[in-house]
A = this chain, B = another copy of it.
């Protein structure tokens, strides 16, 4: 069976960096934005819309603002379509070879492939600092606004995860390893993580 590692992560915790560096070091394929592109190709919906389902809270649809039941219905159908295509895309990826998948609830969707599930988190100060270092678009935000954005995105991720799985996002029992990246130079801990993952696969 292929080795699948899923990375779930708090926004700003550096989970994507963990995933990319692990993939480079382990020689595994890496999937993150590629999944969105693939779903867009299959559904004809825009990448922006698909990304929005997990990141911008588009899951919640308010009847209050709906112009008609037809508009709600169209919205509901496209959401369902994305979730169905996403499951297909993830399963295709899992069958291709060893890989690391960031986000999208892959830990739950691919459970039959027995992935190793890692959760990456950090304290709010570290997450604010990491966002400041990376994101040009957040340059204008105050610390308070950035904190609000970070917490909001995680809230939506949790909601998205609740939509597709019966488990609770971030609850330790759903993961094989939970990694706190507060004040940590991620690059520096990759060798230890790689060895741990190799050990883990041999110790089950």
Q: Residues of A at under 8 Å CB distance from B?
A: 119, 121, 123, 170, 172-173, 175-180, 182-200, 202-204
Contact = CB atoms under 8 A, between A and B. Distances in A.
15 contacts: A170-B172, A172-B172, A176-B180, A176-B182, A177-B179, A183-B204, A184-B200, A184-B204, A185-B203, A186-B203, A188-B199, A188-B203, A189-B199, A192-B198, A193-B199
Nearest to A117: B180
Residue from the set A188, A202, A203 with the largest chain B CB neighbour count within 10 Å: A203
Stoichiometry (number of copies): 2
Contacts of A192: 192-200
Given A172-B180, A192-B193, A192-B200, 15 more contacts: A121-B173, A170-B172, A173-B180, A175-B180, A177-B179, A184-B204, A185-B203, A185-B204, A189-B196, A189-B203, A191-B199, A192-B192, A192-B195, A192-B197, A196-B196
A133 B197 CA distance: 26
B121 A172 contact: yes
Contact of A184 (B119, B170, B188, B203): B203
A166 to B, nearest CB: 16
B202 A188 contact: yes
B184 A195 contact: no
Q: Which 5 A-B pairs have the closest CB atoms?
A: A192-B196, A188-B203, A178-B178, A192-B195, A192-B199
Residue from the set A121, A193, A195 with the largest chain B CB neighbour count within 10 Å: A195
B199 A196 contact: no
Contacts of A194: 192
Contacts of A179: 177
A191 to B, nearest CB: 6
A41 to B, nearest CB: 36
Nearest to A200: B189
A187 B175 CA distance: 20
